[in-house]
Amino acid sequence: MELITIIGAGPGISYAVAQKFGKEGFKIALISRTEEKLKQQQNDLKSEGIEAVYAVADVANPESLYKALQQILDSVGHASMILYNAAGVSVKDVLEQDWETIKSNLDISVGGYFNLMKRVLPFCLKNNSGKLFATGGGFAMQGDPQWTSLSIGKAALRNLVQAYQKRAEGTNVHIAQLTVCGFVNPNDEKYSPKAIAEQYWKLFNQKPGEFESEIIY
């Protein structure tokens, strides 16, 4: 049974991705900070007939993230796909925001992805395979005075994804981002978590030669 790993697991997009891939026969590995919530997600997926494991990690801490990745590797093996879905958010007027908060949010939105790729991309390049995806956002293209920390984080993440894509050019390693240009809402036909999960399923099934680097959605 193939495995997918979701970093930044929680309700919304990540849970919908777990449901979609789980129903397609994949095993799911979940990583986030709060074990109680991870256990609940694991149980919820189990009730739907989906096998899931989890590991606790603070993605802003490289050692914590690496320990969780190793735990999953030791228990269920290598993932066919890793989705980086973690983001640091602070909704506050830009004139009242402080830089320390923005920096700590960047450690989540960008730093965790940077450290993830430093760990897994060399292995993927060596084996000439792997699907490494990230959830971007429309704020990457246009800053917002209330969502400044997320805007900066998504802009930096988008740039970093592009850098790794260029590093992997000419290989069968598929690095891509799904840039979600709307507010996720279960009642929105386009921006419901389930609709967004279908875009990841589309990316996952692309073959070498047809890889999309970014879906602006």
pLDDT digits (tens, 9 = 90+) for 185-199: 888 889 999 999 999
Distance CA 55, CA 38 (A): 8
**Cβ-contact 156, 149 below 8 angstroms:** no
According to the model, what pLDDT value does residue 181 have? 87
According to the model, what pLDDT value does residue 188 have? 86
- Walk across the sheet containing 27-32 and list its strands: 52-56, 27-32, 3-7, 81-84, 131-137, 174-180, 214-216
Q: Which of 70, 18, 68 is nearest to 43 (CA)?
A: 18
CA 144 to chain centre: 22
**Cβ-contact 84, 113 below 8 angstroms:** yes
Q: What is the mean pLDDT of the chain?
A: 96
Task: Give the pair of three-digit tokens for residue 6.
Answer: 């979701």
φ and ψ at 77, to 5 degrees? 95, -170
Q: What is the pLDDT of residues 69-127, one digit of tens each?
A: 999 999 999 999 999 999 999 999 999 999 999 999 999 999 999 999 999 999 999 99
Q: Is the pLDDT of residue 183 over 90?
A: no
What is the mean pLDDT of the segment spanning 177-187? 90
pTM of the model: 0.94
From the CB of residue 167, how many other CB atoms can be counted at a distance below 10 Å?
13
Amino acid 115 reads N
Instruction: Provide the domain limits for residue 138.
Output: 3-216
Angstrom CA distances, 204 to 69, 106, 124, stand at 20, 27, 15
According to the model, what pLDDT value does residue 64 have? 97
According to the model, what pLDDT value does residue 185 have? 86
The total domain count for the chain is: 1
- Domain of 55, CATH number, reads 3.40.50.720
Taking every pair of Cα atoms in the chain, the longest distance, rounded to a whole number of angstroms, is 50
